[in-house]
């Protein structure tokens, strides 16, 4: 399976990689949009890339405002609703706890770490929602793992508490959805930036 995947990757992306490494016209676009200026020392480049990487995991991007361009983000929120935060944290704890014993947990942690890779070297005012969007599924899977792990742990201890916690998270999500939809179909389209 791994050999078939590697072969498919080499056949589809191999020519593109060769073209990017050998064609100066394609490389020119990368030089125009990269995060650092020509001649920037490698440690400074690394610091900029790490800073850009960290923004993707911050509450500003994930829960408060999202992309700097309001047209690239949900109305009046970050990329996720606040109700997802506890599920993300529980999922992270569960995945890290099982990272050595389960390949799926190790793979999920690797996916989460790689999620912003599409956006860490490009110039932009903050995190770019579209460039990092291919990896956002990793965060959703992490939240799903958190939901399942929390449910199982709570159910073993107290079924009523498990159902109550699930109801609170579902209720918070629905309230946030209602607020977001009200804004989206109300005042959001009338804003000058939109």
β-strand partners of 122: 34
Q: In sequence order, what are the residues at sequence separation of 6 or more whose Cβ sits closer than 8 angstroms to the Cβ of residue 65?
A: 73, 77, 78
Which H helix or E strand runs over 184?
A: helix 159-185
Give 174's pLDDT tier (boundaries 50, 70, 90).
Answer: very high
Assess whether pLDDT exceeds 80 at residue 33. no
- Return the SS3 of 127: coil
pLDDT of residue 186: 85
* Helix-helix angle 85-98:103-114, to 10 degrees: 130
> What is this structure's pTM?
0.77
CA dist list (Å): 189 to 69, 73, 126: 14, 13, 23
C-alpha 61: how far from its chain's center? Answer: 9
């Amino acid at each position: 399976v791994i050999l078939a995947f590697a072969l498919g990757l080499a056949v589809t992306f191999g020519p593109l990689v060769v073209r990017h490494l050998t064609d100066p016209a394609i490389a020119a676009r990368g030089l125009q949009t990269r995060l650092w200026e020509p001649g920037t020392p490698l440690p400074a480049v690394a610091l900029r890339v790490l800073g850009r990487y960290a923004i993707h995991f911050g509450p500003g991007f994930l829960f408060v405002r999202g992309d700097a361009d309001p047209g690239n983000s949900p109305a009046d929120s970050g990329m996720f609703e606040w109700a997802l935060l506890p599920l993300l944290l529980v999922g992270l704890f569960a995945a890290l706890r099982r990272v050595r014993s389960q390949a799926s947990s190790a793979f999920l942690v690797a996916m989460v770490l790689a999620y912003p890779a599409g956006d860490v070297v490009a110039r932009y005012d903050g995190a770019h929602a579209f460039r990092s969007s291919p990896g956002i599924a990793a965060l959703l899977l992490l939240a799903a793992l958190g939901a399942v792990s929390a449910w199982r742990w709570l159910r073993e201890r107290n079924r009523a508490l498990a159902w109550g916690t699930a109801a609170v998270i579902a209720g918070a999500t629905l309230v946030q959805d209602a607020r977001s939809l009200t804004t989206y179909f109300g005042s959001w389209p009338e804003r000058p930036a939109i």
